[in-house]
């Protein structure tokens, strides 16, 4: 009898925890201007890369467009030390 009562209390408690109210919240996200985004990796071994793309609005679908034929210049202390061709 006690086991049955505990099972009922457990099931009722579980149902109360899993059921919830839902409210739709509308958020106004401002439209941003497109910006350049550079993602890359540089190591002391061969195989560094850079991907140059543009940003998109928060709710945009699909991939962000990549920038074709981009050149990435690497500077150290204001002096250019390397140039990379970006992956496209």
pLDDT tens profile 5-61: 888 888 888 887 777 677 888 888 777 788 888 888 888 887 778 888 888 887 778
68 versus 29: the higher-pLDDT residue is 68
pLDDT exceeds 90 at position 79: yes
Residue 78: is its pLDDT beyond 90?
A: yes
Return the percent helix, strand and coil in the chain, to nearest 5: 20, 30, 50
Instruction: Categorize the per-residue pLDDT at 4 as very low, low, confident or very high, splitting at 50, 70 and 90.
Output: confident
SS3 6: helix
Taking the whole predicted model, whether its pTM rises above 0.85 is answered as: no
């Amino acid at each position: 009898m006690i086991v049955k009562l505990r099972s009922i209390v457990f099931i009722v408690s579980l149902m109360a925890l899993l059921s919830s109210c839902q409210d739709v919240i509308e958020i106004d996200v401002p439209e941003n201007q497109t910006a350049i985004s550079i993602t890359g990796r540089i190591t002391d071994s061969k195989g560094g890369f850079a991907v140059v793309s543009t940003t998109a609005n928060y709710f945009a679908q699909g991939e962000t467009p990549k920038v074709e034929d981009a050149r990435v210049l690497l500077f150290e202390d204001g002096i250019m030390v390397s140039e990379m061709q970006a992956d496209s």
